[in-house]
Structure 1
Amino acid sequence: MPLPEQADKRRELVARLLAQKATPQGVTPLPRDGSPLACSHEQRRIWLAQQSDPTAAPNVTLGVRLTGALDLARLADACTALIARHEALHTVYTPADGEPYQEIRPGLPAPFEFIDLSGLPEPEREATALGLARTASAERFAVTSGPILRLTVYRISAWEHRLFLVCHHIAADGGSLAIMADDLASLYSGARPSAPPVQYADYAAWSAERSARRLPERLPYWTERLSGLPAPLFGGRPAESGVRSGATAMVRVDREAVDRLRRAADGPATPFVCLCAAYVVLLQRMTGHRDVTVGIVSASRTRRELESVVGTFVNMVPLRVAQPAGQTFAGLLTRVREAAAGALANEIPFDTLVSRAGIPRIPGVHPVFQASFVHREDPKPPADWDGLTAQVWDHEVDDATLDLALTATPRGEQYELAFTGRLARFSPAEVHALPATFAALLAELGGAG
């Protein structure tokens, strides 16, 4: 081969190799030699928030209604196997130089509690179980020593039980609860699911490298987007440090109410965009602010090897929307759609955004946004339990991190819209009035379209 062609081939090969090296690699296992491992950005955000306020991160909870002859010994063994299967469930967190690190402890216990309510009058049993579950949902776990979760079984009768799992948010998120529910059912039924290909600590190292690579090109977007933020949305009573209790109220509306909003759009609009835009209108009317920033959730579980991993993969992303006076709802839908696309395309860890984008901090006020919007997927039914009938056990958790949160959950032909307001900002009566107000607003906006 002539020399010029050889040079061209070498350059082509070098270019291919460099391109392969630059391509983001998958999540791969780290060596486990007993030394502390770095935390993810998600864990770091939760850790740092709890240093000043131990109640800053609400727990995640799972409720399952079980009908049939429940074998408590099998369930306890399944809980032990579940914790052994997922490193995040037997990990504690130790500080060094002001930063948290993961310390994996295989021998961490699996707290299992049984409460027999069958001796109570029958009409009181379910309500008592719900009340006890609500109290348990606010349990605080010592992340430096563990354990970081607890499984409780409430006996309603010999054939009716309610399973309730509470876990610290530093170890699990909503997606992880679905994995844990499936694994518990499989383990109770005698199956032994294959081990996840990687564990959460592997994701933490991979995501830190990915975030560092993306930061230089994405940070300027946020510095510009969040400059000149207006005053906090909610004034009135100052939020008391350590007060995270809230009130929750909900309403169900037909999907047609959301579809009418979609038909009002000038272009394609998802249910997320429509409900988020309506929530922005609600916040504008409540506060008098036309420039509103809402926190939305972005899940980082984007790779196939992470589908069976338990951990916290949730990042909060600010969605800033300014609606000029006289703008139509169709115009607002376009603004929300474009703002969401830009925010998600330039996503960086929220703690990095706050520290690097020059966001001013106000004591007692969540930085950047004080209200959030979460759009969930339609919950899937529980997995099969050997010899038992399993159903979702709905329960309200009133632990509030932000001043106001709206969670939209599709349930068949309806949407469940749940508002949780922080009682340091709102009275229970104010929170309980919001669902009806929002339902009326959806009807108004849909009719205007």
Structure 2
Amino acid sequence: MSSPAPDTREFPLSVQQEFLWEGVRFRSLGRSIASRGNPSIAVELAGTLHLGRFRRALELMVHRHESLRTTLTDLGPAPLQRVADGIEPPFAYVDLAETVPHDRRLATARALVAGDQGGEFDLVAGPLWSCLVVRVTPSLHVLSLSFSHLIIDGVSLVGFLRQLGRLYEGEELAPLKQQYRHFAEESRRPAADTAARVGYWQERLMPLPGRLPFPTDYSATPPPLISFEEEAFRSPHTPQQLREVSLRNSATPFTLNLAAYAAVLARTGGAERVVIGSSVARLDLKADDDQLGYYLDNIFIPVLVRPKDTVGELVQQVRGAVVEAQRNILPYTELAAALKPDFAQSRPWPGIHLYDAWVRGRVFEAATDTAAAASFGGTTVKLFPAAGGSSPRAVVDPRHQEAYARYYLPSLYLNDAAGSNGYIEYNRAVFARHTVHRLADRQQAFVGHLADPRTPVDEAWHAVKSTTEGKRRLS
């Protein structure tokens, strides 16, 4: 008697998703596992929106992409992904035009979008995404899209909105070359030089980062709450000045900003070594630009901030470390097992143990480009700003307390390719807003001092500190 054929609708997580899943399980200790709606985007559609055509476009997207029909089989350490044959699009419509006074409609729409984007998805029951349309006036709608990060990344978010608009306009899209399952399968093929990559990370990350000495406004040992806030910043340097700094250092704006942030963190805390976490998109394994899924690999960049080095040497060190980190990418479970012998017994043990702070480039650049490029008939499409941050959550599990007492430094996110603006995400139970303002000021001022690569790091730091000491821009 032959064994039953395997269910082709079920397949393992990609190695990229495994990193996320370890973090989801860790953050959910002591409570049910759910996924917050992230990434998300909201856009204004100015003009006439035909709801029937819009719903039909959503149905076609669901049929086209397995990722939009994906859930998990269980909440254990190694769940499978399950693809449903079909689902009803998770679509909600709210009409404010007849029920809310005109002067309160945009504020009400923002509150609705914030609620949609801050919601949680049941990872087993699904669906793992949502679509909200808010009618503000007959000629103005707000479209909000929110996803579990397990099924989509920022690049795929771009693709979703663009494809949705093309389907809304009646375009017949070419069949996909592959689905996310094929990427997941390809991602799990072992590298020929796995042993060498393990050795690289053991040399670069051991000993694992400890608690970086950095002054806080409130206790961080352990933090009583996890309550993230976002604080925007804008570079004091012109785009031309930033381009010149990049050219003088033969480095990208991302590398410059990462080097400057590592230097400010290290010098503020009196440390010499800072490990920065970041992510890169594995588009080399993606066969189709329209394919939706999670394609980010995480990298870890140890930075030695030596006062006698020049800032040019610091930038070149960071540039080399970024290149080597990408060259030695390992599946998270293999990397963690190599660095922590009792990893299997310690799980969930997330990647926050491997870095001090996070820096990522161009978080919303793709979304901004999408809003400009997307089209829904005769409507004008532009971004609809929504509130960032998160609701407070008590830190009660001892493992949470240990990890978050060490990983407490704010993270830096760049919004555009030039590095001219972005935001810092911080735990408001640990840092006051004016402290984060000063941190952003110092980071951006240090970028300016990279204009002369011959400047010693110590000299640049003292110049930055003297110009930003006590500087507070409360608003």
1:45 aligns with 2:25: no
C-alpha distance in 2, partners of 1:427/1:335? Answer: 32
Q: Structure 1 residue 324: deviation in Å?
A: 1.6
1:373 aligns with 2:359: yes
Identify the match of residue 440 of structure 1 among 435, 438, 445: 445
Moved more, 422-431 or 43-52: 422-431
Identify the match of residue 92 of structure 1 among 71, 92, 99: 71
Q: What is the identity, as a one-letter code, of the residue corresponding to 2:104?
A: E
Would the alpha carbon gap of residues 58 and 188 (structure 1) be closer, same or farther in structure 2, given more than 3 Å must change? Answer: closer
C-alpha distance in 1, partners of 2:73/2:21? Answer: 10
1:390 aligns with 2:376: no
**Match for residue 285 of structure 1?**
267
C-alpha distance in 1, partners of 2:226/2:57? Answer: 33
- Match runs of 1:16-165 below 5 Å: 33-34=7-8, 36-54=10-28, 59-95=38-74, 98-118=77-97, 119-165=99-145
Number of residue pairs matched by the alignment: 414
What SS is found at the alignment partner of 1:167? strand
Q: With the length of structure 1 as denominator, give the TM-score of the two structures.
A: 0.83
Deviation digits for residues 385-409 of structure 1 (CA, Å, limit 9, x no counterpart): 2121212334343259974221112
C-alpha distance in 1, partners of 2:341/2:387? Answer: 33
What SS is found at the alignment partner of 1:187? helix
Q: What is the identity, as a one-letter code, of the residue corresponding to 1:439?
A: Q
Identify the match of residue 201 of structure 1 among 159, 178, 181: 181
**Match for residue 182 of structure 1?**
162
Deviation digits for residues 181-214 of structure 1 (CA, Å, limit 9, x no counterpart): 11110111112212211000111011101x4544
What SS is found at the alignment partner of 2:150? coil
Q: With the length of structure 2 as denominator, give the TM-score of the two structures.
A: 0.79
What SS is found at the alignment partner of 1:326? coil
Among all aligned residue pairs of Structure 1 and Structure 2, give the percentage whose two residues are the same amino acid.
25
Would the alpha carbon gap of residues 151 and 279 (structure 1) be closer, same or farther in structure 2, given more than 3 Å must change? Answer: same
What SS is found at the alignment partner of 1:198? coil
Q: Structure 1 residue 51: deviation in Å?
A: 2.1
Would the alpha carbon gap of residues 433 and 157 (structure 1) be closer, same or farther in structure 2, given more than 3 Å must change? Answer: farther
What SS is found at the alignment partner of 2:166? helix
**Match for residue 335 of structure 1?**
317
Deviation digits for residues 114-142 of structure 1 (CA, Å, limit 9, x no counterpart): 12233434343323322332232221101
Would the alpha carbon gap of residues 383 and 56 (structure 1) be closer, same or farther in structure 2, given more than 3 Å must change? Answer: closer
Would the alpha carbon gap of residues 256 and 399 (structure 1) be closer, same or farther in structure 2, given more than 3 Å must change? Answer: farther
Q: Structure 1 residue 84: deviation in Å?
A: 1.8
Would the alpha carbon gap of residues 157 and 307 (structure 1) be closer, same or farther in structure 2, given more than 3 Å must change? Answer: same
C-alpha distance in 1, partners of 2:390/2:75? Answer: 29
Identify the match of residue 239 of structure 2 among 228, 247, 255: 255
Tell me if the contact between 1:295 and 1:319 (Cα under 8 Å) persists in the aligned partners. yes
Tell me if the contact between 1:299 and 1:314 (Cα under 8 Å) persists in the aligned partners. yes
Q: What is the identity, as a one-letter code, of the residue corresponding to 2:14?
A: S
Flag structure 2 segments of 5+ consecutive residues without an equivalent.
29-33, 392-403, 456-475
Would the alpha carbon gap of residues 373 and 58 (structure 1) be closer, same or farther in structure 2, given more than 3 Å must change? Answer: farther
What SS is found at the alignment partner of 2:53? helix
Q: What is the identity, as a one-letter code, of the residue corresponding to 2:27?
A: D
- Match runs of 1:297-312 below 5 Å: 297-303=279-285, 305-312=287-294
| RMSD (Å), alpha carbons | 2.9
Q: Structure 1 residue 90: deviation in Å?
A: 0.5
Would the alpha carbon gap of residues 107 and 304 (structure 1) be closer, same or farther in structure 2, given more than 3 Å must change? Answer: closer
Would the alpha carbon gap of residues 238 and 132 (structure 1) be closer, same or farther in structure 2, given more than 3 Å must change? Answer: farther
C-alpha distance in 1, partners of 2:262/2:334? Answer: 25
Deviation digits for residues 94-124 of structure 1 (CA, Å, limit 9, x no counterpart): 1397411011112233111112233434343
Q: Structure 1 residue 261: deviation in Å?
A: 3.1
**Match for residue 192 of structure 1?**
172
Deviation digits for residues 229-262 of structure 1 (CA, Å, limit 9, x no counterpart): 3423367424569x65311111222323423533
What SS is found at the alignment partner of 2:354? coil
C-alpha distance in 2, partners of 1:212/1:96? Answer: 28
Flag structure 1 segments of 5+ consecutive residues without an equivalent.
1-30
Q: What is the identity, as a one-letter code, of the residue corresponding to 2:383?
A: V
Tell me if the contact between 2:266 and 2:305 (Cα under 8 Å) persists in the aligned partners. no
